[in-house]
Amino acid sequence: MKDCQINEKTCKVSENVGLFITMNPGYAGRQELPDNLSALFRPVAMMVPDFFTISKIELMAEGFQLSEKLAGKITTIYEIMSK
């Protein structure tokens, strides 16, 4: 355990703790992370998951015969919900 200062309070934090920052500066009202702060974090590339393939494999694993057709419908539902 190590001591960590957060808002002038000292907290004990395990050395196995990880901190992650998600920044989406393309959205309204959000800004880039300042250089002095971004230097403290390691960048990680992210991508949009392929919901069709994920759904198809999950359905196949559960034994569905028409997994590809059902995966297409599931993907369509998720796309409609995200709009």
Q: What is the residue-level pLDDT of the chain in tens, covering all 83 positions?
A: 888 888 889 989 888 888 787 777 777 777 778 888 888 888 888 788 899 999 999 999 999 999 999 999 999 998 899 87
Tokens of 1: 């355990």
Which amino acid type is present at position 79?
E
Distance CA 82, CA 59 (A): 21
Domain count, the chain: 1
CA neighbours closer than 13 Å in the CB half-sphere of residue 65: 0
pLDDT for residue 57: 97
Cβ pair 10, 3 in contact under 8 A: yes
- Tell me which residue range forms the domain holding 19: 2-81
Q: Are 23 and 33 in contact (CB under 8 A)?
A: yes
